[in-house]
Structure 1
Amino acid sequence: MGFPLRLLFFTLLSLLASYSLSLNNEGRYLMDLKNGLEDPSNMLANWDDRDRTPCNWTGITCTTTSDELSVTSVDLTNYGLVGPFPASLCRLPNLSFLSLQLNFINGSLTNSSSSGLSSCTSLLHLDLSLNLLVGPLPDSLSSLPLLRHLDLSSNNFTGPIPPSFGMFPRLHNLTLVYNLLTSAIPSFLGNLSTLRQLSLSYNPFDPAGTIPPSLANLSSLQTLWLAGCGLVGPIPPALGSLASLANLDLTFNSLTGRIPNELAAGLASIVQIELYNNSLSGPFPSGFSNLTALRRIDASLNHLDGQLPADLFDIPLLDSLHLYQNRITGEIPPGVSRSKTLVELRLFGNRLTGTLPADLGNNSPLMLIDLSDNQLSGEIPASICDRGLLQELLLIDNSFSGSIPDGLARCRTLTRVRLSNNKFSGDIPPGLWGLPHVWLLGLDGNSFSGPISQTISGAHNLSILTMSDNGFSGSIPPEIGHLPSLYQFSAANNGLTGPIPPSLGSLAKLGQLDLHNNSLTGGLLTNIDSWAKLALLNLADNDLTGTIPPQLGNLPVLNYLDLSGNILDGEIPTQLQNLKLDRLNLSNNQLSGSIPPMYKSEAYRTSFLNNPGLCGELAGLCPGLPKDSRRHGRSTSLLFALIFALAGIIVLVIGVGWFYLRYRKFNKAKLGSNKSKWTLTSFHKLGFSEYEILDCLDEDNVIGSGASGKVYKAVLSSGEAVAVKKLWGSAKNVDKAKDDAFKAEVATLGKIRHKNIVKLWCTCSHKECKLLVYEYMPNGSLGDVLHSGKGGALDWPTRYKIALDAAEGLSYLHHDCVPAIVHRDIKSNNILLDAGFGARVADFGVAKAMEAVENGPKSMSVIAGSCGYIAPEYAYTLRVTEKSDIYSFGVVILELVTGKRPIDPEFGEKDLVKWVCDTLEEKGIIDHVVDTKLDLPLYKEEISKVLSIGLLCTSSLPISRPSMRRIVKMLLELGGEDDANSKPKAKQQQQQQEQEQDGKLSPYYFEDQDVV
C-alpha cells in the first residue's frame, strides 16, 4: 500500500475513533438543557460532553431500547434550576418520565420556546409542580397519547381549565392544586374515564361555582380533592356512584344542603370523608355502617343538626370521628362503647345531652376524647382508660358530676386533662396529681375538695395547673416547686392555707402565679431570681404579712402585680419602678412611707387605696411630722435645686439654639443653592411646587427614619400635610443602591391606584438628592402605634380592620397588577395609618415586578426584608415569590393578635411565629398569646379565627399558605355579610359564655393539624 493510501486509511480510522468517542445525540439534547438553565448549586456538574452517553449523569436513567441504551427518565427534582422550560427534552425519543419539581422553571408553556411539549409523545409521567410557570394551561398536553400522570400544582397558571383537558386519552392523575385558575370547575372533566386522582384545590375559581355532577362519570376515580375552590350549592348525590373513591375532600368551601344519603349507599371503597368548614346542614345521614373501608369522617365546622345516627359507631374500621362545632342534639349513641377501632372522638361545640355509656373505653383503643361545650351530664365512666392508651380527655363546659374515677388516675398515658366548668366533687385521687406525662391539668370551676397531694412531685411534664374556683384546702405542698416545666399555677378562690412554699421560687419557667382569695399566711418569697418569665403575680385577698421584697422589681417581664387585700407593711420598694406594669394593685394593706415617683400619677390612683401610712399626692400627707418641719426641710433643698436647674437650662437653651440656627442655615443653603436644577415628576394633580417641599426639610420636621431614608412632615401653605422621604446616601458605594430604591419605588407607586396603597404625589430629583412626596398618614406606622404606649388605642375591631385593609392592598399587588408585584418587605412599620386608623401598604423601595421575561426571574443577590418577617425558604434560597409576602403578612397578623414584636428577648432564640406555635402547643389555649390590652372575652371567637389565619399564612411550607385573595375572603367572612368592610361583630356575653371553650383555639382555618 502506497504512502498516500496509508495516510488516507489512518485518517479515516482517526475520524471514526473520534466519532465513536463523542457524545451521542441524546447527550447533546441534554447539554442544551444544561446550557439553557442556570444551575446556581452546580447540581449538573458531572454532565460532561466528553462522555459517550449521558446514562451516568446525575438525574438521568437509561434503559436498553432496540439493542442500545436510551434515556427514559429525567428526574431533576429540587435542583434549584432557573430558566424557561427546556424544550430540547422532548427530542429524547424514549423519554417516559420527566420531573422538574421544585425548581425555578419560569415563563409560559404556551409560547414558542416550550411548544415542543407536544413532541414528548413517549411521556407517561410529567411533573412540573412547585415552579414559577405563568400564563394559561397549555392545550397541547392533551395530545400526548401515553400520558398517565400530570402534576402542574403550585405554579401561577391563570385563566380557565381549557376544554382540551377533557380529552386526555389515558390520564390517571391530574393535579392542578395551588394555581390562579379562574372560571368554574368544568363539567368536561367528567369525560376522563381513566382518571384515578383529580386534585384542583386552592384555586380562585368562580365563587359561585358548583361541583359538576358529571364527575360522577369517573368510575375509576380514587381521590377527589376540591378543597378551597369557592364551591357553593349542594353536594351532588350522583357522587355516591363513585364506587372506587377512597378519599373525598371538599373542605374550605361554602357548600350547603344536606350530606347526601347516596354517599353512604354507594361509596363502597371510601376510606376518608372530609367535609369540614362548609355550611352543610341537616342531620348526619345513617347507613355509613355499610362502608367497610371507612376510617375517618370529618364534617366539623358546619351547621349539622339533629341526632347522631344509631349505627354511626358500627362502621367496622372507623378510627376518627370529627363532628365538632355543629348543632347536633340528643345523646351519644350507646354503640360508641362497642367500637373496637375508635381512636379519636371530637364532638365538642354541639348541643349533646345525656350521659356517657358506662363501659366507654372498655373496647375502643381511645386516645383522644373531646366532648367539651355540650350539655352532657353524669359521671366519667370508670372504664374510660381500660385499654391504657388514652392521651387527651377534654370535657370542658358540661354538667358532668361525681368524683374522678380511680381508673383515670392510673392512666399513665394521659397528656392533657381538662375538666373545667362542670359539677365534679370530692377529692382528687392522689394518682391523678402525679401522672408523669400530663402537661395540662384543668380542674377549675368545679366543687372539688381536699388537699393537693404530695404525689404531684411525679408530674415532671406538668406545665399548666388550673384549679381555681373549687373547695381545695390544706397547704401548698413544697413538692410543687419540683416541677421543672410548670408555667401556670392558678389556684384562686379556694381555701388553701399556710405559707407559699419557698420551692416555688426556683421554677424557671413559671409565667403565671395566681393564688388570690385563699387564706395563705407568711411572707412573700424573696428567692425569686429564677422567675425570669413570670408575667402575672396575683396574691390578693390572703393573709400574707411582712414587707414587699425589692427583688420583685428585678423580674424582667412582670406586667401584672396584685398584692391587695393582705397585711403587708413597710415601704414600697423603689425597685418596683423597673417594672412595666399594665396592672398594679397594692390597696388594702398596711404599707407606709412614700409612693415611688413613677407611680405618683392619675393612672395609679386606685393602686394604693386604704394604706393610711402611705405618703404621696395620691394618699394624702405623710403622718407623724409637724407640717412646719416638713415644709422647712423641703424649702432649703428646693431652693438649691431650683438654682442649679435654672442655670443648666439657660446654658442648654443657648447652646441648642445656636447650633439649630447654624444647621438650619446650612441645610437651606445646601438644598436651595440651585433650585432650578430640581426635577419634579407628578403622578396626581398637585397644588404645590418643589420649592415649597424643599423649604420644609428641617430637622424639626423629621417624623421617622428607616433603612432607605429619612421622612419629614411638610405642612404646605394650603394647610395640607404631606410626607417627604429623602433617600440616604452620598458616597459612591451607596448611590447605586439609593438609585435602585428610588427607581423601584417610583416605578411601582407611580402606576398604582388603590385605597389601601399609600399615594405617591410626586418625586423631586437632583443629582445629589432624591425625594418622594407621599400622602401624610397622621397616625404613623402600625409598628409604632402597636409597640408603644399607644397600643391601647387599638381595640380589636380596629386591629381587624387594619388587617383587612392591608390584606386588600397586598391582594391588589399580587392579583390585580400586571405584572404582579411582590413587595418583599411587608412589616408593621411599612403599614401606615390614616386619621381613622385605616391602613395603607407603603415603602416599595425593594419591591420587584415579577415579570415573565425571556431569561426568567433571578434569585436575589441579597436577602431583602426585615428580621422576623422573612419566610424560611426565602432566607435559604433567596427565591422571590408572593408566598414570601404572605408569610410576612402572617407575622403582622400575629403582631396584631399578640401585641408583641417579631423578635423579642422574651422569646429567647425563637421568633414570634415559633413562640406562638410552641405556646399554643404547650398551653392549649389562646389566652397565653393574646394581647392583654384586648377584650378577649368579648371577641374570643373572632380573635381565634384571625389567629388561625395568621398561623396558616406563616406555614413553613409555601404551598400551605393561602393566596392573598383567599386571605381577604377569609377575613371578610369574619366581618359579616351585610358590610364587607365592617368590623367583626362582638357576640353578647351570654352567647359567648355558651360557645366558649375555656380559651380553646378553633381550628377554623387549619388543615390536617391540631394546634390545641
Structure 2
Amino acid sequence: MKRLLELIVLFVLAPLCARCLNLSLNDDVLGLIVFKAAVEDPKQNLATWDEDDDSPCNWTGVQCSPRSKRVVELNLDGFSLSGRLGRGLFQLEFLQRLSLSKNNLSGNLSPNFARVDNLQVIDLSGNNLSGTVPDDFFRQCGSLRVVSLANNKFDGKIPDSLSSCGSLIAVNLSSNQFSGPLPSGVLSLSGLRSLDLSDNALVGEIPKVIENLYNLRTLNLRKNQFSSQIPDGIGSCLLLRSIDLSENSFSGNLPQTMQKLVLCSDLILSRNLFEGNIPEWIGEMKSLETLDFSGNNFTGHIPTTMGNLQYLKVLNLSSNAFTDSFPESAMKCQNLLALDISHNFIMGNLPAIGSLAKLQFLNLSGNSFVGPIPETIGDLKALSVLDLSRNRLNESIPKAIGGAVSLMELKLDENFLGGELPSSIGHCSFLTTLFTSHNNLTGPIPAELAKLSYLRNVDLSFNNLNGTLPKQLSNLPNLLLFNISHNDLKGELPGGVFFNTISPSSVAGNPSLCGSVVNKSCPSVLPKPIVLDPNSTSDSISSSLPPSTNLRRNRNILSISALVAIGAAAFIIIGIILITILNSRVQPPTSSLSAAALALSIGDDFSHSSSPDANSGKLVVLSGELDFSAGAHALLNKDCELGCGGFGAVYHTVLRDGHSVAIKKLTVSSLVKSQEDFEREVRKFGNVRHQNLVTLEGYYWTPSLQLLIYEYVSGGSLYGLLHEALDDNVLPWNERFNIILGTAKGLAHLHQSNTIHYNIKSSNILIDCNGQPKVGDYGLARLLPMLDRYVLSSKIQSALGYMAPEFACRTVKITEKCDMYAFGILILEIVTGKRPVEYMEDDVAVLCDMVRVAVDEGRAEECIDSKLRGNFPAAEAVPVLKLGLICTSHVPSNRPEMREMVKILEMIKCPSELQELG
C-alpha cells in the first residue's frame, strides 16, 4: 500500500518535477497501477499486476511492442471489473488498442482519451458508463479506426466531433439512449465500413449524404425513431451486405435505386410504415439470404420474381395486407429455412411445399387458404414448426404428417379439418406443442400421443372427438396444458398428478367424463357374487330347501363373515403386541420412544402389513435425544398435517420436552424393500449438516412404513410467503435476495456432499424464525434406486415447471445440473413473484419463457414483482433475474455450478445500508 501511494503521488507530481529530479519512471507501470487502484477486481484477474515490477509486459491482459517494450494493447474483456475509468490510462502514450468490454465500469467519459495520440481501437461496450459523450471527445482522433460504446447508458446527442475522425472504419453506438438527429458529418466518413446506431432514440430523416458511404458494408439503424422515406442515395452504397432499418417509422415506397445493391445478403425492414407493392425488381437482388418485410402496410400480390432468389434462407412477409395466391415460383427457393407469410389475406390452396427440403419453420397462419393439407408435408424431414392455424383448410389431417419427424410445434387450430387425428402423429417424437382446437375432428384420441414424452401443450378443444382417454397419457412427464374441452369424450380421466389437478375448464363440455375434477363420480365395478357350490345353481339350491333351511343357510354365511372379521381383529391385536415386545428389545438406549404409542398412532399401517417382519420397527436418533413418550398420538394425526408432497405427507408434533419436530411419512414405502439400503441412504444424507439445510434428526423403519424425523421450521414455506401472503405482508427485496443466496449455499453444500436434491421448489424452501432459508426434502430420490426417471418424475411432478428438460430423455444422465435448472426457475419465481406455470382460461404462461422474451426485448425491470412497488435496487434485481435465465439453459453444460452461483450472488449484492442512505 505504501508503494502504491508513492506511485500515485509520483503520477500527480511527475509532470512538474520529473525534469528537475531527472527521474527515470516507467510510465506504463505507473499508469496501469493507478488504473488498477480505481477499480474493483473481485475475481483477482489483475493479481499479476505488481507495482514493484520494472515492466508490465508480462501482466495479464497487457501486450507490449517487441521493439520499444511499451504497452500497445490492453484487453480486459469480461474481467468483472467495476469502478470508474481512472486517469492512469492516459499515461499509456503508445497505447493502440483499448478493450474493456463486458465489465461493470461506471461513470462518465473523460475527454482526455483524445490525448492518447496513437489510439486506434476503443471498445468500452457492455458496461454501465453513462452521461453525455463530451463534444470534444473525438477532437484529436487522427489514428482512430474502431470505436464501440455499445450497451451502456450514454444519452444526449451523438457528438459532431465524431465526423472529424477520418480514419474510422467501424462505429458502434448501439443500445444506449442517444437522441436527436443523426449528424450528417458521420455519413461523410467515406472509409466507414460498419455503422451500428441501433436501439437508441434517434429521430428525423437519414441524411441524403449517405451516398458518400461507398465503402459501407453494414448499416444497422434498428429500433430508433427515424421517419420519412429511405433516401435514393442508399443505392450508391454498392458494397452493402447487410441493411437493418427495422422498428422505425420509415414510410412510402422502396427507392428503386436499391436494386443496385446486388451484394446485399440481409435486407430487414420490418415494423415500419412502408406501403404499396413490393417491386418486381426485388428479384434482381440475387445475393439475398434474409428478406424481412414483416409488420408493414405492403399490399397487392407477392412478386413472382421471388423465385430468382436462389440463396434465400429466411423470407418473412407476415403482418401485411398481401392478397391473391402465394406464387408457386417461390418454391424454387430451395435453400429456404424459414417461411412466414402469416396474417395477410392470401387465398387459394396451400402451395406444394414438399420441394423445400431444408425448411425448418413454416407459418402460413391467419390467411384464407382453402383445401387440404398436401401429402407432401411428410417430405419435410427438417421441419420443426408448422403453423397453419386460422385458415379455411378442410378434409382430414394427412397420415403423412408422421413423416415430418423433426416437428416440435404443430398448430392446425381454427380451420374446418375433419376426420380423425392420425395415429402417425406418434412418429413426431420431438413434438412439444399440438393445437387442433376449433375444427371438426372425430374419433378417439390416439394412444400414440402417450409416446410423445416431450409434449408440453396440447389443445384439442371444440371438436367432435369421442371415446375414452388413453390411460397411458398419465405417463407424459412434461405436460403443462391438456385442453380437451367441448368434445364428446367419456369415461374416467387418466391418473397421475397432472390429470388429478387439471383445470376444470380444460375438460368442460364433455358430459360423459367422470372423476373428481368434473365433480362426477365414475360408476363402480362390482365384484361377481361368490358361488358356494359350482355344480349347483343358487335357484336349484334354494328351491330344494324349505324356508327354515334357507334362513339357516343365510345365518351360516353371516357367521363365516363374522369369523373372518374376528380373525382379522385378533391378528391386528397380536401384531401390535409383537411390535411392542420387539421394539423394547431392539430399541437403542438413547431413544425413549414408546413403540406401543407409535403403533397406536399409526394403527392401520401396521394392521395391513402382509409381511411377518412388519411387526418389528426400529427408531434411530441421529441428532440429540428425542422423547416421543408424550404426544405420540399426534404423530400422524390429520389435524397435525402440514402438507403433502411427492414423497409423502408431513406432520407436526411437540415432544414432552417442548421440542418441535416435523415427521414425514413416506408414501413410497412399498417400493423400498431393503432395510439395509434404506438405513444406508438415510444416514448418508442425515450426516449432511448445514445452516441452510433442514436437519434430519432421526428415522423410523418397518418394511411397510418409514418415517423421517426432521427439525421443525416455524416460518412456513417460501411458496406461502410469495403466493399466499396478504398484500400488506409482502416479502421485501433484501429478504428475497438473502433467501436466494442462502438456498444457493445450502444446495452447494449438498452438491459438495455428492447429493442431488432432485425436487427443488418453493414449497421445499422453509424459512426459520430469523428469516433464513432452509432447504428440505433433499436426498429422498436416493431411496428409490430401483425406479427409472419416468416413475420418479411422476412422484415429484407437483414440481411442475421446475423439471429440467433432460428428465424426458432416457439417454441423458441426471446430474447436479438438474438442480441448477430448478434453482434457476426458483430465482425467477422469487424475483417476479409469479408461479413457474400460470394457468389461464385457454392458455398457459411458462415463467422462464415469459422472462426470456422480456429480457431479450430490454424489459427486464418490468418482470420484477409489482408488489415491491419499485422498492428494489435494479442493480441487484436485474442481474439476479438474468442469472436465473442462465441457469435454465436447455443445454446442461451451459448452466453454472452451484458453488459458482454463490460467488456470483455475493458479487452482485450491493450494501443495503448505502441504498437506504441514498
Please classify the TM superposition score into its range, dividing by the shorter chain length.
0.5 to 0.7
Question: Cα distance 1:214–1:472, how it changes in 2: closer, same or farther (>3 A)?
Answer: same
Asked if the contact 2:286/2:310 (under 8 Å) is kept, the reply is: no
Q: Which residue of 2 aligns with 1:392?
A: 314
| Alignment of 1:971 onto 2:861 | yes
Question: Cα distance 1:842–1:184, how it changes in 2: closer, same or farther (>3 A)?
Answer: farther
Deviation at 1:299, TM superposition (A): 2.6
| Alignment of 1:534 onto 2:455 | yes
| Alignment of 1:166 onto 2:90 | yes
1:155-194 equivalences in 2 (<5 Å)? 155-194=79-118
Question: Cα distance 1:555–1:670, how it changes in 2: closer, same or farther (>3 A)?
Answer: closer
| Alignment of 1:260 onto 2:183 | yes
Q: Which residue of 2 aligns with 1:312?
A: 234
1:153-302 equivalences in 2 (<5 Å)? 153-205=77-129, 207-208=130-131, 210=133, 213-265=136-188, 267-302=189-224
Q: Which residue of 1 aligns with 2:890?
A: none
Superposed CA deviations along residues 85-129 of structure 1, whole A, max 9, x for unmatched, are xx9x99xxxxxxxxxxx998656567xxx1244435xx5x96527
Q: Could you say what secondary structure the match of 1:148 adopts? A: strand
2: distance between equivalents of 1:366 and 1:527?
42
Asked if the contact 2:836/2:846 (under 8 Å) is kept, the reply is: no
**Aligned amino acid, residue 572 of structure 1:** E
Q: Could you say what secondary structure the match of 1:407 adopts? A: helix
Q: Which residue of 2 aligns with 1:677?
A: none
Question: Cα distance 1:807–1:507, how it changes in 2: closer, same or farther (>3 A)?
Answer: same
1:730-741 equivalences in 2 (<5 Å)? none
Asked if the contact 1:284/1:309 (under 8 Å) is kept, the reply is: yes
Deviation at 1:386, TM superposition (A): 0.8
Asked if the contact 1:832/1:840 (under 8 Å) is kept, the reply is: no
**Aligned amino acid, residue 391 of structure 2:** N
Q: Which residue of 1 aligns with 2:900?
A: none
Question: Cα distance 1:188–1:145, how it changes in 2: closer, same or farther (>3 A)?
Answer: farther
1: distance between equivalents of 2:841 and 2:734?
19
Deviation at 1:444, TM superposition (A): 1.3
Q: Could you say what secondary structure the match of 2:323 adopts? A: strand
Asked if the contact 2:854/2:863 (under 8 Å) is kept, the reply is: no
Deviation at 1:912, TM superposition (A): 7.4
Q: Could you say what secondary structure the match of 2:347 adopts? A: strand
2:838 to 897, 915, 933: 933
Q: Which residue of 2 aligns with 1:878?
A: none
1:352 to 265, 274, 294: 274
Deviation at 1:313, TM superposition (A): 4.6
1: distance between equivalents of 2:340 and 2:565?
62
**Aligned amino acid, residue 195 of structure 2:** I
Q: Which residue of 2 aligns with 1:450?
A: 371
1:454-533 equivalences in 2 (<5 Å)? 454-528=375-449, 530-533=451-454
1: distance between equivalents of 2:75 and 2:171?
19
| Alignment of 1:119 onto 2:35 | no
Q: Which residue of 2 aligns with 1:146?
A: 70
1:341 to 263, 283, 286: 263
2:335 to 394, 400, 413: 413
Asked if the contact 2:454/2:808 (under 8 Å) is kept, the reply is: yes
Of 579-588 and 523-532, deviating more is 579-588
Q: Could you say what secondary structure the match of 1:256 adopts? A: strand
**Aligned amino acid, residue 148 of structure 1:** V
Deviation at 1:435, TM superposition (A): 1.7
Superposed CA deviations along residues 408-428 of structure 1, whole A, max 9, x for unmatched, are 122211111122222111112
Asked if the contact 1:258/1:280 (under 8 Å) is kept, the reply is: yes
Question: Cα distance 1:470–1:292, how it changes in 2: closer, same or farther (>3 A)?
Answer: same
Asked if the contact 2:211/2:233 (under 8 Å) is kept, the reply is: yes
Deviation at 1:179, TM superposition (A): 3.7
2: distance between equivalents of 1:645 and 1:314?
98
Asked if the contact 1:449/1:472 (under 8 Å) is kept, the reply is: yes
Q: Which residue of 1 aligns with 2:802?
A: 900
2: distance between equivalents of 1:468 and 1:231?
44
How many correspondences in the alignment?
685
Deviation at 1:460, TM superposition (A): 1.1
Asked if the contact 1:485/1:509 (under 8 Å) is kept, the reply is: yes
1:558-707 equivalences in 2 (<5 Å)? 558-568=479-489, 571-572=491-492, 579=499, 582-583=502-503, 585-588=506-509, 591=512, 595=514, 599-601=515-517, 604-605=518-519, 655-656=597-598, 670=625
Q: Could you say what secondary structure the match of 1:465 adopts? A: strand
Question: Cα distance 1:127–1:410, how it changes in 2: closer, same or farther (>3 A)?
Answer: same
2: distance between equivalents of 1:554 and 1:945?
27
Question: Cα distance 1:899–1:291, how it changes in 2: closer, same or farther (>3 A)?
Answer: same
Superposed CA deviations along residues 383-436 of structure 1, whole A, max 9, x for unmatched, are 124130111112232222221111112221111112222211111222x24521
Question: Cα distance 1:900–1:126, how it changes in 2: closer, same or farther (>3 A)?
Answer: same
| Alignment of 1:980 onto 2:870 | yes
Deviation at 1:190, TM superposition (A): 0.5
Question: Cα distance 1:105–1:980, how it changes in 2: closer, same or farther (>3 A)?
Answer: closer
Deviation at 1:163, TM superposition (A): 2.2
Deviation at 1:189, TM superposition (A): 0.7
2: distance between equivalents of 1:938 and 1:157?
43
2: distance between equivalents of 1:699 and 1:521?
49
Superposed CA deviations along residues 423-466 of structure 1, whole A, max 9, x for unmatched, are 11111222x24521111111111111121112222211112211
1: distance between equivalents of 2:865 and 2:135?
30
Question: Cα distance 1:936–1:160, how it changes in 2: closer, same or farther (>3 A)?
Answer: farther
2: distance between equivalents of 1:829 and 1:325?
41
Question: Cα distance 1:656–1:345, how it changes in 2: closer, same or farther (>3 A)?
Answer: farther
2: distance between equivalents of 1:936 and 1:280?
41
Q: Could you say what secondary structure the match of 1:214 adopts? A: coil
Of 245-254 and 543-552, deviating more is 543-552
2:851 to 931, 942, 946: 946
**Aligned amino acid, residue 170 of structure 1:** F
2: distance between equivalents of 1:348 and 1:840?
50
RMSD: 6.3
| Alignment of 1:326 onto 2:248 | yes
Question: Cα distance 1:520–1:907, how it changes in 2: closer, same or farther (>3 A)?
Answer: same
* Structure 2: tracts of 5 or more residues without a match: 1-25, 30-40, 525-557, 577-594, 603-616, 628-634, 645-649, 655-659, 663-682, 694-710, 752-756, 782-796, 823-834, 875-884, 886-918
Question: Cα distance 1:400–1:900, how it changes in 2: closer, same or farther (>3 A)?
Answer: farther
Q: Which residue of 1 aligns with 2:33?
A: none
2: distance between equivalents of 1:645 and 1:443?
68
Question: Cα distance 1:478–1:182, how it changes in 2: closer, same or farther (>3 A)?
Answer: closer
Asked if the contact 1:972/1:980 (under 8 Å) is kept, the reply is: no
| Alignment of 1:439 onto 2:379 | no
1: distance between equivalents of 2:819 and 2:267?
29
2: distance between equivalents of 1:172 and 1:643?
97
Deviation at 1:217, TM superposition (A): 1.7
Q: Which residue of 2 aligns with 1:780?
A: 718
Question: Cα distance 1:519–1:658, how it changes in 2: closer, same or farther (>3 A)?
Answer: closer
Superposed CA deviations along residues 478-533 of structure 1, whole A, max 9, x for unmatched, are 22122211222221222223333332233322333322332334444344553333
Question: Cα distance 1:247–1:586, how it changes in 2: closer, same or farther (>3 A)?
Answer: same
Deviation at 1:552, TM superposition (A): 3.7
1: distance between equivalents of 2:253 and 2:739?
48
Q: Which fold has the larger relative contact order, with Cα–Cα distance below 8 Å and residues 6 or more apart in sequence?
A: 1
Question: Cα distance 1:238–1:371, how it changes in 2: closer, same or farther (>3 A)?
Answer: same
**Aligned amino acid, residue 93 of structure 2:** P
Superposition TM-score, scaled by structure 2 size = 0.60
Question: Cα distance 1:982–1:128, how it changes in 2: closer, same or farther (>3 A)?
Answer: closer
Superposed CA deviations along residues 642-698 of structure 1, whole A, max 9, x for unmatched, are 9999999999996427789x99998998499xxxxxxxxxxxxxxxxxxxxxxxxx9
